[in-house]
Structure 1
Amino acid sequence: MTPAARVASAAAILDRVAGGEPAERALTNWARSNRYAGSGDRAAIRDLVFGVLRRWRSAAAHGAAPDVTPDAGQWADHRPDGRRLMLGDLVQTGEDPAAFFTGDRFALGPLSDEETAAIADPPAMERGQRLDCPDWMLPILDADMGDRADEVLLTLRERSPVGLRVNLARISREEAITALAQEGITAQAHPLSPSALVVDGFPRGLAAKAPLRDGLIEMQDPASQAVVDLLPLDPGMRVLDYCAGGGGKTLAMAGRARAEFHVHDADPGRMADLAPRAERAGVPIAGTWGPAAPPEGDFDLVLCDAPCSGSGAWRRSPEGKWALTPARLDALRQIQGEILDRAAALTRKGGTLAYATCSLLRAENEEAVAAFLSRDGRFRQTGGRRFSPLEGGDGFFVAILERQS
């Protein structure tokens, strides 16, 4: 496909997203209907779509499209179209739209007089448009991050670097860098964690490379690894990853200590890939739990990477930025409290309960922990840390809570 055809395809997919279809489903459905597109084409189109999702409001402003985000639901006559969104994003990323809006076969039609005028007269954007943030979130982020809020939000408009975790139980970080170099991948040590690497650029097919295929290296954000580094892990511990998801933190913990690892998730389907990944990494999973069979017994360490707004990971999951509402945030805070209470009951005397989110918001972090400690006097906080996206990873929070004996 030509670059112009890729832009046209991205615009068609954005039309579907603007109509309420989730981006991943829209991309998959488009690929199934256009099997002529190769893997490179699909990856490039995905990058275009996700670039607009990160910068939806500013793209709409530059493309003279309505300032309405994908979660709006009630479009009336003001639904933005993929053509205008792609036009606006090309302009603000320094591309010449005329090179893509050619009218050639498979390309979008030439620029109209109105579109040309919009390009020539850049808009005066409001703060929420410039920062690509819902307006209702701005005062919350200002209160929580102070004068760093704008810098953080601008960082979240861009694509996240590719982070890797070295399985230190099987290979050193230096050996991992050499193994990746033999596959044509350049990586450097990342300062957030002794196991973390960051890759130069955005190479395709990384997961199929031998070091990842053989379980020597896993894809994982550096800040996520740094959260695990703060956990008090010792050999022989009975450990529960209570909100395990794909199990990335379970595998990271196993890279630090030989322990008895158990996993649980409210949606067991999220853990479907964990067993083969654990086998590749040489990590035995002692128990897998779900709603039908809740965890039993006492654990030395319980990690709760709780469901949250995902505001620290908006670079990776930009749709979450537009789907979040005040009501949804309130519901998440309720869920977080319930998870902490359930996990506390599974933590043995003298054991550790670790609470983590990929959120930037105090309401989901410090305030959630303070509310839990006021409910359960058996625990005290002994450690914790915030990780900012400005440090080169996702935004994360972790609190280390000890159950007093």
Structure 2
Amino acid sequence: MQPAARAAAAMAVLDRVLAGEPAEKALTAWGRGARYAGSGDRNAVRDLVFEALRCRRSFAALGGGLTGRGLILGAMRSMGQDMQQWYGEGAYAPAPPAADEAGRVPEGDEALDVPDWLAPALRRALGDDYAPVMQAMRQRAPVVLRVNAGRSTRDAARSRLLAEGIATRPHPLAAFALEVTEGVRKVQSSAAYAEGVVELQDASSQAVVEALPLADGMRVLDHCAGGGGKTLAMAARARLRLWAHDATPRRMADLPPRAARAGVAVTLTERPEATAPYDLVLADAPCSGSGSWRRDPEGKWALTPERLAELVALQGQILDRCAAMVAPAGTLAYATCSFLCDENEDQVTAFLARNAGWTCTGQHRFSPLQGGDGFFLALLARA
């Protein structure tokens, strides 16, 4: 496919997304109908779509409107591209820009691709880092691997990956983190991945686990386990008795094969209270996802004040449920991939006000300015 044809395809996919269809579903539907498109074309169209979603507000301003065409036109103008290669004649090429598609230069929060209603809360949470963090959230997230300490050293894993055409460099945020610099699309088909030497995991997620007070012999519950990334990262740090729970059990469907690949034992449970108490409970709670907007840009535009209020209420319920399962002198670790104080510091303050006999022994914030997603962690100790 020529660049113009890729642009036209991305426009069509984005129109479906703007109409309410999830981006992955829209891309799959386009791919099934575009038998002429090779893997390189599909990857290029995908990249255009997600770049446009990350920068939806500013690209719409630059492109003259919130449409698939407007977003891709805005993307081209933002990158200073030669417009002639993206438009022209032919069956698959979009028409050249019209006079009413001149667009305008975005300003302020619009240029940072921040929804107006969220800007005050983000400024409160981030302070002087507001603009640089929001600018970072407009960029594609790096691909980071976690080396399984039970299977390899970081240097040995780097050598294995390099032999398979995957170049990496140590990431400063976590001891076993490797950022992929070349060969990203080879990772999941590599032998190192298949044999459990490495797992895909954001650097901030790894840093959260490294901050947990884990020791051999502890009974540990990952209460909101999802796919089990943090469960497996905890297993690599110490010899633990591990349980994993999620409100939607199907999210954990991949955890047993992943655990087997990593050589660790994890018990999946729908009734975590039945095996309580635990020395440590990790509650990586459902949240706005504002810290991971680079990976899920649709979430930025789908979030509403009403949904945020629902999430804050749910987080409080999860904290109270988890607290009841923590052993005396145990730890409740509360984490979110959010920047917002409502979901983080304010949530911890409200928990301590509701629950006597608990103290906060530490809080950590991890930022895209450190090379990972935005994450918050609070360690709560039971007297």
Q: How high is the TM-score relative to the length of structure 1? A: 0.92
Q: Give the secondary-structure state (helix, strand or coil) at the position aligned to 1:12.
A: helix
Query: Would you say the 8 A contact 1:243–1:264 is kept in 2?
Result: yes
Question: Superposition pairs for residues 5-404 of structure 1, below 5 Å?
Answer: 5-65=5-65, 80-115=66-101, 118=102, 123-201=104-182, 203-285=184-266, 287-290=267-270, 293-296=271-274, 297-404=276-383
Amino acid at match of 1:289: T
Which deviates the most, 395-404 or 98-107?
98-107
Structure 2 CA distance, aligned partners of 1:169 and 1:125?
49
Identity of aligned residues (%): 54
Runs of 4+ in 1 over 6 A off after TM superposition: none
Distance across 2 between alignment mates of 1:317 and 1:218: 19
1:366 CA displacement: 0.6
Which structure 2 segments of 5+ residues have no match?
Answer: none
1:43 maps to a residue whose letter is N
1:374 alignment partner AA: A
Please report how far the alpha carbon of residue 8 of structure 1 lies from its aligned counterpart in structure 2 after TM superposition.
1.0
Partner of 1:77: none
- SS of the equivalent of 1:200 reads strand
Alignment-mate amino acid for residue 377 of structure 1:
A
Structure 1 stretches lacking a partner, 5+ long: 66-79
Whether contact under 8 Å (1:230, 1:384) holds in the other structure is no
**Within 1, Cα distance between the matches of 2:71 and 2:123?**
28
CA distance in 1 between partners of 2:43 and 2:265 (Å): 34
Offset, 1:200: 0.9
Q: Is the partner of 2:378 in helix, strand or coil? A: strand
1:334: how far off? Answer: 0.1
Could you tell me how far apart the structure 1 residues matched to 2:184 and 2:348 are?
39
Contact 2:336–2:344 under 8 Å retained in 1: yes
- Residues paired across the two proteins, number: 382
- How far the C-alpha of 1:63 sits from its partner, in A, is 0.6
Deviation at 1:294, TM superposition (A): 4.4
In the alignment, the residues of structure 2 paired with residue 41 and residue 284 of structure 1 have an alpha-carbon distance, to the nearest angstrom, of: 41
- Which deviates the most, 216-225 or 88-97? 88-97
| 1:112, distance to aligned residue in structure 2 (A) | 2.7
Give a deviation string over 1:141-166, Cα, whole Å, max 9, x none.
Answer: 11221121011101000101111100
- Partners of 2:176 and 2:35 lie apart in 1 by 39
Partner deviation per Cα, 1:20-44 (whole Å, 9 max, x = no partner): 1111111122222223323222221
**Is the 8 Å Cα contact of residues 307 and 336 (structure 1) preserved in structure 2?**
yes
Q: Which residue of the partner structure matches residue 74 of structure 1?
A: none
Q: Distance in 1 between matches of 2:116 and 2:196?
A: 43
Q: Is the 8 A contact 2:167 2:183 kept in 1?
A: no
Alpha-carbon deviation of 1:202? Answer: 6.5
Deviations 1:74-98 (A, max 9, x none): xxxxxx3211210111110222222
Kindly provide the CA deviation profile for residues 112-147 of structure 1, in whole angstroms up to 9, marking residues without a partner as x. Answer: 3444xx1xxx62423121000101111111122112
> Matched residues in 2 for 1:381 and 1:202: separation?
42
Q: CA–CA distance in 2 between the matches of 1:208 and 1:175?
A: 18
Separation in 1 of the partners of 2:42 and 2:90? 20
Note the alpha carbon deviations across 1:363-401, whole angstroms, 9 max, x for none.
Answer: 100110110011111221112210111110000000111
Equivalent residues of 1:54, 1:156 under 8 A apart? yes
